[in-house]
Structure 1
Amino acid sequence: MSQPDPSTVRFAGPWTHRDVHANGIRFHVVEAADSPADGPLVVLLHGFADFWWSWRHQLTALTEAGYRAVAVDLRGYGDSDKPPRGYDGWTLAGDVVGLIRALGHSRAALVGHADGGLVCWATAALHPRMVSAIGLVGSPHPIALRRSVLRDKAQRRALLPFFLRYQVPLLPERSLTKKNGEAVEQLFRSRTSPAWQGTEECTDAVTQLRSAIRIAGAAHCALEYQRWAFRSQFRGDGRRFMKAMDTSLDIPALQVRGELDPYVLARTVHGDVGWAPERRLHTVLGAGHYAHQESPDEVTDQLKELLESSGVL
C-alpha cells in the first residue's frame, strides 16, 4: 500500500493550517480559526509517534479562553520538514524558540506530552527568557527520568526495553510502519486506560496515528528522538546537555499524570520538583499515558489554571 501524503494530516475543522519557517526548516502549525493574534501564545507539543492532532481538544478550548493556542507537528513529524539531523535537545529547543519568534511573540507558555514535554523542559532551561510557564503530560524532567531508570527497577522495566529496541537501524522503522502502522496502535492502546480503549474517540485517534506514522520519513525521524536521548547518555554532548538541564526553573509548572499510566510511574514524576520548585502535580484518575486525550476537559482545566497563575492573560 502506498504511503500517505503529508498533507493528509491537514484535517478540516475549526482551525487553520499554516506553514511557519523557523530554525532553518518548515513547520506545520495549527491554530483555531478565531485565534486571537495578540493573545498570549501557548505552544502545544506532541509526543512519540504522534502529531498535532493529539491536542485537538486543548487547541479549541484554550482559544476560547483567550489564548493563542498553536499545535505543532514537531521536526520530522506530520507535515513538517523531515531533515536528516537535529533531533537532539539543543536543536529541538532552538526549534521552539524559532517558532515563538516566527509567530510574532517574544515569549510563550509551552505544553508538551512525553517527548514534547522533554522539549518543554529543554527550552525552559536553555532559553528561560522565552518561556512563561510549562505544562507537562506524562513527561518528567530528563534528569529525574534518568535517575529513576537507574535506581527504580519498575521504571526501568517500563521504559528501557523500548529504548533498547529502537537503537538498531532499519528494523524499528519497519516495525512501526508494517501492517499499516499496527505497532503504533498496539503501543497507544497499551498505554491508555482500558475504559477509554473501547470508545469511538480512541478508535479515531488510532486511525489517524496509523496513517501519520506511515508518512515517508516520519517513523525514522520519530525514532531519532529516542536514539539521541539514549545514545547521548554515553557521549560528551549528552553530558553537556544534562549539565545544562540541571538548573532550577522559576516559572509556574504543571505536571499531569494519568493514574493508570504504565509507562511513566508516579515515583518518577515526583522527582520533578527539584528542578521546578513551583511545580504542581495533578493526577487524572482513571487515565493512562495520554491523559490529555483520555480526559481532555480535566486536563484543559488544569492547563487554564497554570496559565492564569503565570499572569500572561
Structure 2
Amino acid sequence: MTAETFVTHAPGDVRIIADRHGDPDARAVVFLHGGGQTRRSWGRAAAAVAERGWQAVTVDLRGHGESDWATEGDYRLVSFASDVHEVLRTLPPNPVLVGASLGGCTAMLLAGELAIGAASAVVLVDIVPNMDPSGAQRVQAFMAENMESGFDSLDEVADAIAAYNPHRPRPADLNGLTANLRRRGDRWYWHWDPQFISGPDHQGPMEIHDVERLNTAVQTILDSAVPMLLVRGQLSDLVSAANADEFLTRFPRVEFVDVAGAGHMVAGDRNDIFADAILDFLDRHSC
C-alpha cells in the first residue's frame, strides 16, 4: 500500500510531515513515535491497520525525521502536543492516538489536558507516567552517545543499536537503518535535532518527569469515557512489571497487553503481536 505524504503547519510555522495509509475519508489511527525515532518506525503496523479499513497516519514529531527543527529549540511536551493537535484538525473526527514513549506522553497531554475529547481512544506503547528513571536515563544516554560525533559507517550504527537492544537480531540489510539517519560529508548522524537532548531544560520535554501532571491527564482521559490500552514489552527497562502494576492499580479501567520477546521498541520487536493487540482493542470498543 503506497503512503501519501502530507504537510501540516503547526504553531510557529513548524512544518509537520506525516504519511497517510489507506482511505483519507476513513477514521484515523494516528501513530506517534518515540524520541529519536521517525514515522518510519510504524510502517508495518500502519499497513496492518489500513488493511482493516482505517486511515493510518504516521507523524514525524518536530525535530525528527522530515519535520522541521524548532528554530528556538522548543521541544517542550506541550509543543509536541500542540503540533499533533493541528494534524488532528485535518483528519475526520474521533481519531485514535497510538503513542510510544515520547509519543505516548504527547498523547496523554493532548487528550487529557490540551484538547480533552479530541481522541476516541488512546494506546500507550511502553510508557506510563511512573516510568523507571534508570531506564529513561539509559535511553537518553544511547541517544546522546554519538549525537555530535556521528558514525563512520552503517556497520557502526548497527553495532550501537545491537549493544542497546541485544535481544533484537542484527539486520541482514543495513540500508533500512538510513530511515533514521542523515548523511553529512563522510559520516552518518541521527535524523533528529541535537537540541532535543542538549538544549536548555526549559525548552526540553521535561513534562515527561512530572508524574502527577501526566497521571491527572490519564485520569481526565478515562473520566471522559475514552478507552485506553497499555502495551508493554516484557523485556522493557523503561516500564518494568512493577511500574505497569502500579499504573494499572491506579487506573484499573486501562486495558493491558504484555508482549513477550519485546523490549522498549515493541512495534519493531514483535510487530505481529503489536498490530493484533491494537486491532483487537479497536474492534472490541467499536472505536
TM-score range, shorter-chain basis?
Answer: 0.7 to 0.9
The residue that corresponds to 1:26 in the other structure is 15
Question: Match for 1:220 among 181, 194, 198?
Answer: 194
Alignment of 1:1-313 (within 5 A): 14-23=2-11, 24-32=13-21, 35-83=22-70, 84-101=72-89, 103-126=90-113, 127-140=115-128, 142=129, 144-145=130-131, 148-149=132-133, 156=134, 158-160=135-137, 163=140, 173-175=147-149, 177-179=150-152, 185=158, 188-192=161-165, 194=167, 196-200=168-172, 203-211=174-182, 214=189, 218-223=192-197, 227=201, 228-230=204-206, 241=213, 245=217, 247-250=219-222, 251-273=226-248, 276-312=251-287
1:277, distance to aligned residue in structure 2 (A): 3.7
Instruction: Answer whether contact 2:100 2:124 (CA < 8 A) is retained.
Output: yes
Q: Residues 172 and 188 of structure 1: is their aligned pair in 2 closer, same or farther, counting only changes over 3 Å?
A: closer
- In 2: Cα distance, 1:89 partner to 1:173 partner: 21
Identical amino acids, percent of aligned pairs: 22
Q: Which amino acid aligns with 2:165?
A: T
Q: Residues 242 and 304 of structure 1: is their aligned pair in 2 closer, same or farther, counting only changes over 3 Å?
A: closer
Q: Which runs of 5+ in 1 are unaligned?
A: 1-12, 150-155
Once the two structures are superposed, what CA deviation does each residue of 1:44-103 show, in whole Å capped at 9, x if it has no partner? 0111211011000011111111111100111111111111233112222111111100x2
1:179, distance to aligned residue in structure 2 (A): 3.2
Instruction: Answer whether contact 2:29 2:56 (CA < 8 A) is retained.
Output: yes
- In 1: Cα distance, 2:207 partner to 2:220 partner: 25
Q: Which runs of 5+ in 2 are unaligned?
A: none
**Which structure shows the higher helix fraction?**
1
Q: Residues 243 and 256 of structure 1: is their aligned pair in 2 closer, same or farther, counting only changes over 3 Å?
A: closer
- In 2: Cα distance, 1:232 partner to 1:255 partner: 17
- In 2: Cα distance, 1:275 partner to 1:98 partner: 31
Instruction: Answer whether contact 1:88 1:225 (CA < 8 A) is retained.
Output: no
1:241, distance to aligned residue in structure 2 (A): 4.9
Q: Residues 100 and 184 of structure 1: is their aligned pair in 2 closer, same or farther, counting only changes over 3 Å?
A: farther
- Structure 2 residue matching 1:130: 3-state secondary structure: coil
* TM-score, length-scaled by structure 2: 0.81
Q: Residues 200 and 266 of structure 1: is their aligned pair in 2 closer, same or farther, counting only changes over 3 Å?
A: farther
- Structure 2 residue matching 1:97: 3-state secondary structure: helix
Once the two structures are superposed, what CA deviation does each residue of 1:238-271 show, in whole Å capped at 9, x if it has no partner? 6995585373422211111122223432222233
- In 1: Cα distance, 2:25 partner to 2:213 partner: 34
Alpha-carbon RMSD across the aligned residues, in angstroms, is 3.3
- In 2: Cα distance, 1:225 partner to 1:282 partner: 35
Q: Which amino acid aligns with 1:189?
A: A
Once the two structures are superposed, what CA deviation does each residue of 1:182-215 show, in whole Å capped at 9, x if it has no partner? 8864554345352x323447x4543432348837
Between 218-227 and 108-117, the greater mean CA deviation after superposition: 218-227
The residue that corresponds to 1:153 in the other structure is none
* TM-score, length-scaled by structure 1: 0.75
Instruction: Answer whether contact 1:77 1:222 (CA < 8 A) is retained.
Output: no
Once the two structures are superposed, what CA deviation does each residue of 1:269-307 show, in whole Å capped at 9, x if it has no partner? 233336644211211111222121121111111101222
- In 2: Cα distance, 1:76 partner to 1:70 partner: 18
- In 1: Cα distance, 2:40 partner to 2:96 partner: 19
Q: Which amino acid aligns with 2:126?
A: G
Residues matched between the structures, number: 275
